[in-house]
Amino acid sequence: MPFLKTHIPDLLIFEPRIWPDDRGYFYESYNQRTWEAEGLNVQFVQDNQARSTRGVLRGLHYQTGEMAQAKLVRVVFGEVLDVAVDLRPDSPTYGQSFTIRLSAENHRQLFVPRGFAHGYLVLSDEAEFVYKCDNFYSKAHEGGVRYDDPTLAIDWGFDLSQVLVSEKDLILPAFGEHLRAV
């Protein structure tokens, strides 16, 4: 089975089957039938890609209300530490985070359901991060949480004084302050 459960309900690791040979390898990064066989009926509508350098930290972001997004994230070049935070108020794991190293070498992907904040930190010299979304981006519905929030206490495994963070991410609210309904 290519799906592994995490300690947070509905947050899944996808490990595709790899077919290596003397030319390299082949794998299906996404097959809707595989997802449906698992009971996951997600209809992705948008693909995004970002290239970043070591120490770039993007997040923690989410979309709210009718524009909430589920994501399937992966790395096609380099390595990142990927982080998802459960923001679902009725969830038994509300406020808990999950971290995983995603890389071009391990081919792992993380399915981040709606109701989560998400971010990542680039660990390699460069990385290309690719993700599918099940809803379109809406600036009016964007929200976020500070990456260095003391309540969340995320272990990024990196000296946070050395990270490169956008101005927008530096002014995100702390966890529990002005969280918009996800």
Residues tagged active-site: 61, 131
Reduce the secondary structure of the chain to three states and give it as a string. CCEEECCCCCCEEECCCCEEECCEEECCCCCHHHHHHCCCCCCCCEEEEEEEECCEEEEEEEECHHHCCCEEEEEEECEEEEEEEECCCCCCCCCCEEEEEEECCCCCEEEECCCEEEEEEECCCEEEEEEEECCCCCHHHEEECCCCCCCCCCCCCCCHHHCECCHHHHCCCCCCCCCCCC
